[in-house]
Structure 1
Amino acid sequence: MSLENKVFVVGLPRTGTTSVCVAAINAGIPTAHTAYTQHCFEQAQFFADTPCFSHYPYLAKRFPSSRFILLQRDRQAWLASIKQLLLRMQKNLLCEQGGFSPLLKQSYADVFAPLNAQTLADDQHLSACYERHQQAVREYFSPDPQRLLTIDVSNAADYQRFCAFLDIDPSADGFAHLNKGNKVMAWREVQSPLKISSTRNGKVDNLDSWWLP
């Protein structure tokens, strides 16, 4: 896989992004779970989470040879998990000053709009956001369907499709089930030279002028 042939996972948080990132690392692919600097985008080949799930149109144009993976998950299981995540993130997501990086805030605000203290705990709103995102991704890639793979990491057959899409050898273990329950720290525990830092010593870049070629 050339560094220009990048793969972006555009599934929403809590759909298995860490599991596919670990599978990519196990296959020998430089991987970033979140990316906030130009250096990160240049060094990694496989990406997930923010800002991929919100900025995929920019990435598709910035990297014309890139491909994309849309993750799906049982809706009720996803709702329970995403509400726990958003509740933990609420203070840093919704504050006007400080908190998370502007790009991370923008990603969540775009996909979960309107995002506020009420909607981040509203099943109906979050379910609608999930469906809107799924449909938007499918529609965006409909003129070029070979660039998009849609999978569910809980489906063993979809692991085989994932490997075929990346042209990698399957592992007997398939996708690891990571971040079970309310745990979200599995990526921090991954130790590999193929794990690419998403920031520059904690600092992020302003990528606004870099998205488009």
Structure 2
Amino acid sequence: MSKIFIIGLPRTGTTSISVALLDYFKVAHIGYTKRTFELADVISDCPCFCDYQQLDVQFPNSKFIYLRRNLDAWLPSIVMLLNKLIPTFHNQTYVSPILKRCFEQTFKLIDTVTAPNYTDLKACYQEHENAVQDYFNGRDNLLSIDIADRNSMSQLLDFLNLSHTNNQVFPHLNMGRRLDHWKEIKHINKVHSNISGREGRKYFAFVGT
């Protein structure tokens, strides 16, 4: 069962691309359970940016979309998000163990109480980008785009073999300090991130969760 995975880091436009694809596919912005992955055609953000190699094996013949973003814009945006999330990783507030694992692993957050500095976060961004490029080197199932580019929507729809007009553009969501625009979206193709299935709310065994 092939899927479409959005593997750009948080704050690179994962909400915008998820909303853009709702008119074509069943979409989950974040997927915490096997059942969510079964029901959705497209899954973005966490845990895809962290688990893309395992998901590539789990779902053969899938397509992957890597989202780039100008670092001058991305760095303050990711710092804002991390400073909101990190306290929940250290107190009694419930937070998904999958979310916690992916963020701690990708951004090296173990034992941190605030977001890393720009230099360290830039290194995390580049490490992720290099790993994606190395993994997909020589393959044709990865598209790399920056949704701020005028032609990026056309490139995406071409990659997915979808008809379109050349003037289609991405919606720009979660701008500034917005973090949760996805919750406000109402669409028949929207898939919840934490759907229970035959095994409850279990994730895949490849990470031991």
Q: Normalising by the residue count of structure 2, what TM-score does the alignment of the two structures yield?
A: 0.91
Letter matched to residue 150 of structure 1: S
Q: For residue 16 of structure 2, what is the aligned residue in structure 1?
A: 19
Gaps of 5+ in 1: none
- Counterparts of 2:69 and 2:62, CA distance in 1: 23
Question: 1:196 deviation in Å?
Answer: 0.4
Equivalent position of 1:124 in the other structure: 119
Determine if contact 2:34/2:204 at 8 Å carries over to the other structure: no
- Looking at structure 1, the residues matched to 7 and 146 of structure 2 have their Cα atoms a distance apart, in angstroms, of 13
Pick one of 99, 110, 116 that aligns with 1:104.
99
Q: Is the partner of 1:149 in helix, strand or coil?
A: strand
- Counterpart for residue 176 of structure 1: 171
Counterpart for residue 71 of structure 1: 67
Task: Provide Cα deviations, 1:117-155, integer angstroms capped at 9, x if missing partner.
Answer: 25x2411111100000000011111142x1110000000
Query: How far off its partner does 1:208 sit?
Result: 4.0
Distance 1:170 1:117, change over 3 A: farther
C-alpha displacement of 1:166: 1.0
In the aligned structure 2, how far is the partner of 1:113 from the partner of 1:211? 17
Contact 2:4–2:65 (CA<8 Å) still a contact in 1?
Answer: yes
Q: Distance in 2 between matches of 1:79 and 1:46?
A: 26
Q: Is the CA contact (8 Å cut-off) linking 2:10 and 2:45 kept in structure 1?
A: yes
CA positional deviation for 1:98:
5.0
Shift of 1:170: 2.8
Q: Is the 8 A contact 1:71 1:150 kept in 2?
A: yes
Aligned residue pair count: 203
Tell me if the contact between 1:12 and 1:53 (Cα under 8 Å) persists in the aligned partners.
Answer: yes
* Partner residue of 1:29 out of 21, 25, 38: 25
Q: CA deviation at 1:207?
A: 2.1
Give the conservation status (yes or no) of the 8 Å contact 1:62–1:211: no
The 3 A distance-change label for structure 1 pair 32 and 54 is same
1:185 and 1:207 map into 2 onto residues whose CA distance is: 23
Secondary structure (helix, strand or coil) at the match of 1:130 reads helix
Cα distance, 1:210 vs structure 2? 6.0
What per-residue deviation string (whole Å, max 9, x for no partner) do you get for residues 65-101 of structure 1?
A: 1010000001010001000111111211344x55311
How many angstroms apart in 1 are the aligned matches of 2:109 and 2:88?
16
Stretches of structure 2 lacking an aligned partner (at least 5 in a row): none
How do 1:1-213 residues align onto structure 2 when only pairs under 5 Å count? 4-26=1-23, 28-95=24-91, 98-115=93-110, 116-118=112-114, 120-144=115-139, 146-170=140-164, 172-200=167-195, 205-209=201-205
- Taking the aligned partners of 1:52 and 1:199, their CA distance within structure 2 comes to 15
Secondary structure at 1:100's aligned position in 2?
Answer: coil
Q: State whether residues 35 and 201 of structure 2, in contact with CA within 8 Å, keep that contact through their aligned partners in structure 1.
A: no
- Report the Cα distance in structure 1 between the residues aligned to 2:51 and 2:96, rounded to whole angstroms: 15
Supply the AA of the counterpart residue of 2:147. V
